[in-house]
Amino acid sequence: MKKIEAIVRDEKFDDIIKALEDSGIGGITVTEAMGFGRHRNGLKKKMKLEIYCDEFQVDKVVEMIRRHGKTDTTGDGKIAVIRLEQLFRIRTGEQGANAI
């Protein structure tokens, strides 16, 4: 299992969410964020996406975020893929991939 965290441009957020929804991905958590990168061009509004998925879904999810979030200019964002030790669904007690 993996957790994908992506920090994306606010103006590309709707395009990314539409693509992820259409793909049938299990779920997503979204947080508003502020940040700047290496160019230090001031704090910019960003959106942080968090997605739990199985290994076989990672490449597809990353590619969708890249394709729909890219503007070819500084500040397009970052994507991190993080290995999950374990995942639990609070309501049912399901574990692992069943909890996604």
According to the model, what pLDDT value does residue 67 have? 97
Question: How far apart are alpha carbons 87 and 93 in whole angstroms?
Answer: 10
pLDDT along the chain (100 residues), means of 10: 97 96 90 90 94 95 98 94 96 94
Number of domains in the chain: 1
pLDDT at 54: 93
Q: What is the reported pLDDT for 26? A: 79
Identify the CA nearest to 20 among candidates 55, 69, 56, 89.
69
> 29 pairs with which residues across the strands?
50
Look at residue 87 in the predicted model and tell me its pLDDT. Answer: 95
Domain holding 49: CATH number? 3.30.70.120
Of 53, 59, 48, nearest in space to 83 by CA: 53
Please give the residue range of the domain that contains residue 35.
2-99
